[in-house]
Copies of this chain bind each other. A is one copy, B any other.
C-alpha cells in the first residue's frame, strides 16, 4: 500500500513509516501498530513520541524525559489531575448506569453546565464524543428546518462520523464533501471589512444551495476557526453570519469542542466573545479531561420537532461516571481559576511570540486568544509548510510537544493544558528562539 502525503493525506505532522530515528522498542511498536490497527491510523512527528506518564503540563517517555505539552487540549485541567481521577474512580466504584433510570448526577451536572450559558440555551443532551454531538446537531437541524444544506468553512473539522466527515473539508480530498455541503473561506482578519465579507460568503453559499433546490439547515462553525488556522479575531464576524443563515430558515451551531471550557480566557465559550447567541452549541474534548464525554446545548424550540418524532438514547452518554468526571472538571476550572490563567498566561505568551516575530522573519502572523495561540511560519512572507514541519520536529527534539494546522499546514497550533504557567511559556519561547537562531 502506498500513499502520497501531499495529496491524499493533508494532515500536517503525520509520521511517515520507515522514516525518523526510532529506537528498537519504538520501531517494534510502529510495526505492531501497522499490523494491529491498520492503515488509517496516523502517528505524530517524523520520529513519533513514546509516552508512559503525564502530570500537569508534562508528559514523560520511558526513559523519564519530560516533554512540555503545548498541544493537548483534552487534558485541559492538566494530565492525570488527581481531583478528576478520584471523582471518576469513586463514581465508577458506586454506579455507572445510564439515563433511562433516574440519577441525580446527570441532572446536577446539567444544571451546573447550563449555568455557564446565556438564558435561552437551557437544554443539554449528552454524547460520548464531539463527533457524536455535531452529528446529533445535524439530525436536529434537519428535523427543525426541514432542510439539509450545511455551510462550513474551507478547512473546517467537525468530526469523523459519516455525516460530519462530509462536513469536514480538512479531512482532505479522499473524504468528499456531501452534495448538500458548501465550504466558504474562513474569515480573513486582513480584509477591509472581515464581518461583511464573511456574511457575504455565507449568503453566497445560501444562494447556491437554494439554486440547487437544497434548503439551508445549518451554519456550523468552530468559533475560533481552529483547523482553518485559528482566527480568533475580529470578534465581529459571527453575528452577521448567524443572522444570514437564520434569514434563510437555517440554524447556527457554535462548535466549541476546541475553544470551549475557558480556553479563550475572556469567556467560557468562543461564541460569547462575538456577542452572538447560537441555536446549538457542541462540546467535547476537554469536557471530561480525557474521559469520553461530550454534549450538545440547545435552545428548546430547536429540539421540539426532533423530540416529537424521535427519541435519543446514547448508551454511555451522560452516564453517572461521565457526569461525575465532567463535574470535577468544571469544579477545577472554577476553583483553580483556569479561565483567568488562560487570559493572563495567554496574554504574556502571545506578547512573547510577537516579540520573537519582530526578530525572526520565519514567524509571520501571530494570532489567538487566551491559551489558544497560532504563529504562521513563512519564508519571504509566504506560507511555508515544510519549514513549519521542521520547526515542529525541532521543538519535539527540544522536548516540546506541538503541531501544525491550517489549510496550508504552516501554522503552529499552541493549545496547552490550561494549567500552563508563565514559566512554561518562557521555556517554550526560549527553546523556540534557540531553534530560530539556528536559521530554521
Contacts and interface: CB of A to CB of B under 8 A. Distances in A.
A39 B307 contact: yes
13 contacts: A29-B102, A36-B107, A37-B99, A41-B99, A51-B95, A52-B104, A54-B94, A74-B97, A88-B92, A92-B290, A163-B163, A175-B309, A292-B292
Given A48-B102, A99-B41, A292-B128, A53 B94 contact: yes
A240 B41 CA distance: 33
Contacts of A291: 92, 96, 292, 316, 321
Given A32-B111, A107-B32, A135-B162, A311 B40 contact: yes
B42 A100 contact: yes
Contacts of A313: 41-42, 160
Among A128, A285, A319, which residue has the most Cβ atoms of chain B within 10 A?
A: A128
Interface string A290-321: 11110000101001101111111111111101
Contacts of A160: 132, 136, 312-314
Q: Which 8 A-B pairs have the closest CB atoms?
A: A39-B307, A174-B309, A96-B290, A89-B89, A292-B316, A38-B123, A162-B163, A40-B312
A88 B52 CA distance: 15
Contacts of A298: 38
Contacts of A311: 9, 11, 14, 40-42, 171-172
A210 interface: no
Contacts of A36: 107, 110-111, 114, 122-124
Interface stretch (A78-86, A196-204, A371-379, A386-394): A78-86
B316 A290 contact: yes
B162 A40 contact: no
A172 B310 CA distance: 8
A131 interface: yes
Given A161-B163, A315-B129, A308 B3 contact: yes
A98 B403 CA distance: 14
A22 B384 CA distance: 65
A129 B41 CA distance: 18
B162 A1 contact: no
A130 interface: yes
Nearest to A71: B100
Nearest to A92: B85
Contact of A102 (B26, B130, B289): B26
A22 B192 CA distance: 62
Interface residues of A, number: 107
A293 B50 CA distance: 22
Interface in A87-144: 88-89, 92-104, 106-107, 110-111, 114, 122-125, 128-132, 135-136, 138-139
A307 B40 contact: yes
Interface in A14-66: 14, 26, 29-30, 32-33, 35-44, 48-54, 59
A409 interface: no
A425 interface: no
A72 interface: yes
B162 A139 contact: yes
A248 to B, nearest CB: 21
Contact of A290 (B11, B85, B111, B321): B321
A139 to B, nearest CB: 5
Contacts of A72: 97
A284 interface: yes
B38 A104 contact: no
A101 B172 contact: no
A322 interface: yes
A176 B280 CA distance: 23
Nearest to A107: B32
A60 to B, nearest CB: 8
A378 to B, nearest CB: 26
B300 A319 contact: no
A96 B289 CA distance: 9
Contacts of A292: 128, 291-293, 316, 319, 322
A80 B107 contact: no
